[in-house]
Amino acid sequence: MPEFIGAYGFILLRITAAAILLTIVNPFFSKKKIPLKENAKDLIICAFFGVAANMLMFFKGLSITHEINGAVLMLFSPVFVFIFGLFLKTEKVYWWNIIGIFIAAIGALMFLGGGSFRIEAATAYGDLLIILNAISYAFFLVYVRKLLKKFHPITVTKFAFYFGFLMVLPFGLKEALNANYDGMEMIHWGSLIFVLVMTTFVTYVLSALAIKQGGSTIVGAYIYLQPVLAGVIAHIAGVDEITLVKVCFAAMIFLGVYLVSIKKHATN
C-alpha cells in the first residue's frame, strides 16, 4: 500500500480471503450450526467491532499519524480489555492481573521508545482513530466470549467475517477492483498471501481459540509481546540490535504477561 492497492481495498481482500478459508476449514472442526435468528445481533456486534471498525480505523489512522504513535496507542488495548471485562462481568480479574497489565504496558512503552511519541494537530485525527480501534478490538475480545461459550471458535469467527465483509464492501470494493495487480511482482504476491493467510485467517482463529480457553484478559495482555517479537525479527533480519536495555524492558513485558495469566486456582 498504496502503490498497488489502497488501504480499504486491502482490508476487503483480507476479509474476503479469511471468510473463504474459514468456510473451507469449518466443517473439519465443527458441524454445529449457529441459529442466526437468535444470535444475529451478537454476531453483527462482533463483526462490527472485531472486523470492520477495527481494521478500517487502524489502517486509516496509521495513514495519518506517526508509526510510533500507532504502536504506542495500541498498547491501550489490553487496558480496555480489562475494563470491559469488569464492566460486562465476563471473567474474574485479580489484583496481580492488574499489576501485570501495568508492568507489561510500561515495559512495552519503553521498549518501543515511548519518548518518540508526540501529539500534533496534523496527526490528532489519526491518533484518535487508533485509540478508537484499540477500544473497538478490546470490546470484541470481551464480547465474543458469550458466543464462544456456545459455539466453536472457528464457526463464530466465520460468521463474524461474513457480516464484516458486508460492512467493509462499500468502503473497499472500488479500491480492490482498481488495484494494480499486473504490476505486482513475486515479492508483493508473497507478502499479500502472508497477510491474507497468516495475519488475518490464522491470527483470528488462534485468538478465538485462545479466548475460549484462557479468557479475554490473557489474550489482550499478549499484545504487549508484539514489540518484543518485532525486535527479535528485526535483529534476525539485521535491521536492529538487541541491547541490554531492551532485554530488561522485554523481561518486564514477560513478567507482566505472566502475572496476567495467573488465575486463582494456580495460587492454591
The whole-number pLDDT of residue 198 equals 96
**CB atoms near residue 159 (< 10 Å):** 24
Residue 81: pLDDT band (50, 70, 90) is confident
Contact 13, 194 (CB under 8 A): no
**CB atoms near residue 107 (< 10 Å):** 24
Mean pLDDT (whole number) for 79-86: 82
pTM: 0.83
Mean pLDDT (whole number) for 199-206: 94
Mean pLDDT of the chain: 87
Contact 215, 91 (CB under 8 A): yes
Per-residue pLDDT of 211-223, as tens digits, reads 888 788 788 888 8
The whole-number pLDDT of residue 243 equals 81
Q: Compute the C-alpha angle 19/215/168, nearest 5°.
A: 25
Cell of 130: 487508533
Strand runs labelled E in the chain? none
Task: Find cell 458486508 and name the residue.
Answer: 166
Per-residue pLDDT of 106-164, as tens digits, reads 888 787 775 566 667 777 888 899 889 989 999 999 999 989 999 999 999 999 999 99
Please choose, from the candidates 145, 136, 143, the residue with its C-alpha nearest in 3D space to the C-alpha of residue 211: 145
DSSP class of residue 223? G
The whole-number pLDDT of residue 171 equals 95
Is a pLDDT exceeding 60 seen at residue 266? Answer: no
Is a pLDDT exceeding 70 seen at residue 2? Answer: yes
Is a pLDDT exceeding 60 seen at residue 268? Answer: no
Q: Which residue has the higher pLDDT, 108 or 26?
A: 26
Separation CA 26–CA 28 (nearest Å)? 5
Residue 178: pLDDT band (50, 70, 90) is very high
Per-residue pLDDT of 226-262, as tens digits, reads 778 877 887 788 877 778 888 888 888 888 888 877 8
**CB atoms near residue 19 (< 10 Å):** 22
Burial tier of 185 (Cβ tally within 10 Å: 0-12, 13-18, 19+): exposed
